[in-house]
Amino acid sequence: MQRMFLRRVGLALLLMLAATALTFALVSAAPGNVAAMIAERAAGAGADGAMIARIAAELGLNDPLPLRYLRWLGNAAQGDFGVSLRTGKPMAEEFAARIPVTLALLSGGGVLVLVLSLVMGLAGAVSNGGVADRLLHGLALIGASTPNFFVAAMLVIVFSVWLGWLPSFGMSGLASWLLPWITIALFPASVLARVVRVNLQDAMSRPFATTGFAKGLTRRAVLVREALPNILIPFMTTFGAQFTLMIIGAIVVERVFGLSGIGAFFIEAIRFRDFIGMQAVLLLFVVFFVSVNLIVDIAAMLADPRLRRPRKA
């Protein structure tokens, strides 16, 4: 158990290192990228080749790639992610202002995903082939196929334009978060609801479910008390995978609803060729993906008594 745990953590660290190295190599492969941008900002159209070369030399951009990667990584470890070429502010400052926004979006959306998927999956299993089951199946299929920007647009049309209940833009109070949360949650909730439904169905046809009935439980009680604990592990791993994918949702949702989070910053960084900003955000993303996966794996390990308490000989 402990060895498995340590191995998993080591693997995660290795993956983080490799993935950041890869993104660094990609984004910073051409040293001209950053220097040209700085020169352009400083001298406008007057920037020439000599100026770019001088800036590159000053910043050590001509050093070998591994050296530059290690230097960058060392700085990042101390909280120095460079200065954004677009906003001119240190990336650490940008992070401090924007990470809370994205976290609020992800955590609110995440809670909604958990609740929605469990309710939908369980309701489907309770109905078991009935009208509600079919309806929810269709709903999950559409939810898992509708582009989230279209979901956002429809929500704005219905709740902001027609009904005028909720704001369509900005970050002013809880009300302005409702549409972003629903938008970002719909896709993962739909995927997860099907995972819940399918695994519940599988669990209900296993012998222990029959034992549950024999214990005198009603079908609903067997679903909740016997089947539900058994889907915990696929539920957790799928939730982890979907939660990491919610970063893409965040990128779209932050743009549509005008939330100044990391996702919106990333798109702006790409559009304005802010390579330093891009690099820093990608580092953040890699850390996010790898650690969510790690947490989910460990949580799944702890949730399964067969792994938590392996049988002694």
Partner 1 sequence: MTAPVYSVEDLVIDLYTPSVSVRAVDGASFQVRPGETLAIVGESGSGKTVMTLGPLGLLPEGVAVDLKGLARADGRDLLRLSPGDLSALRGGFFGVIFQDPMSALNPMLKIGPQLARQAQLYAGLSAEAARREAVSLLARSGIPDPEDRYDRYPHELSGGMLQRAMIALALAARPRVLIADEPTTALDATVQAQILALIRQIQQEDGIAVVLITHDIGAVSVLADRVIVLYAGQIAEEGTAIDVLTAPAHPYTRGLLASVPDFRSEIASGTREIPGIPPNQAQLMPGCRFAERCDRVQPACHSHRPRLQTITRGEVPHRVACPVIIAAEGIATHD
Partner 2 sequence: MMKNWPWLILTPAILFVLIGLFAPVLMTHDAAKQDYTAILQGPSLEHYLGTDYLGRDMFSRIIGGARTSLVAMSVVLVAALVIGVVIGSFAGYVGGRTELVLISIIDIALALPSLVIALALIGVFSGPAWVWMSDYWKMIIALTLAWWANYARMSRAVVVAELQQPYIEAARVMGASHLWIFTRHILPHVLGLVVVYASADAGALVLAIATLSFLGLGVAPPVPEWGQMLVDGMSYIEEFPSLVIIPGLALTAVVVSFNLLGEAFALQKVPRAVRGGFLARKKAARVAEEAARAATEARA
- In the complex, the residues that contact partner 2 under the rule CB under 8 A are 15, 18-19, 22-23, 26-27, 29-30, 32-33, 36, 134, 137, 141-142, 144-147, 149-150, 153-154, 156-157, 161, 168, 194, 197-198, 201-202, 205, 244-245, 247-248, 251-252, 255-256, 266-267, 269-271, 273, 275, 278, 282, 285-286, 289-290, 293
Kindly state the smallest distance separating residue 217's Cβ from partner 1, in Å. Answer: 6
Kindly state the smallest distance separating residue 25's Cβ from partner 2, in Å. Answer: 10
Q: 159: how many CB neighbours lie within 10 A of its CB? A: 18
Cα 163 to chain centroid distance, Å, stands at 31
Contact of residue 185 among partner 2, partner 1, none (CB under 5-8 Å per partner type): none
Q: Which residues bind partner 1 (CB under 8 A)?
A: 128, 201, 204-219, 226, 229-230, 232, 304-306, 309, 311-312
Instruction: Please tell me the total number of residues recorded for the chain in this structure.
Output: 313
Kindly state the smallest distance separating residue 175's Cβ from partner 2, in Å. Answer: 18
Pair 121, 194: CB distance under 8 Å: yes
Q: Which amino acid is at 50?
A: A
> CA 86 to CA 233: how far, in whole Å?
43
Q: Which residues contact 26 (CB under 8 A, 6 or more apart)?
A: none
Contact of residue 62 among partner 1, partner 2, none (CB under 5-8 Å per partner type): none
Kindly state the smallest distance separating residue 180's Cβ from partner 2, in Å. Answer: 15
Rank residues 81 and 285 by Cβ distance to partner 2 and give the closer one: 285
Measured on CA atoms in the order 16, 19, 22, 28, is the torsion positive or negative? negative
Contact of residue 8 among partner 1, partner 2, none (CB under 5-8 Å per partner type): none
> CA 132 to CA 188: how far, in whole Å?
20
Contact of residue 270 among partner 1, partner 2, none (CB under 5-8 Å per partner type): partner 2
Contact of residue 218 among partner 1, partner 2, none (CB under 5-8 Å per partner type): partner 1
Minimal CA–CA distance to 125: which of 189, 180, 203, 56? Answer: 203
Rank residues 153 and 217 by Cβ distance to partner 1 and give the closer one: 217
Contact of residue 157 among partner 1, partner 2, none (CB under 5-8 Å per partner type): partner 2
> CA 107 to CA 296: how far, in whole Å?
15
146: left (phi over 0), alpha (psi -120 to 50) or beta: beta
Pair 107, 244: CB distance under 8 Å: no
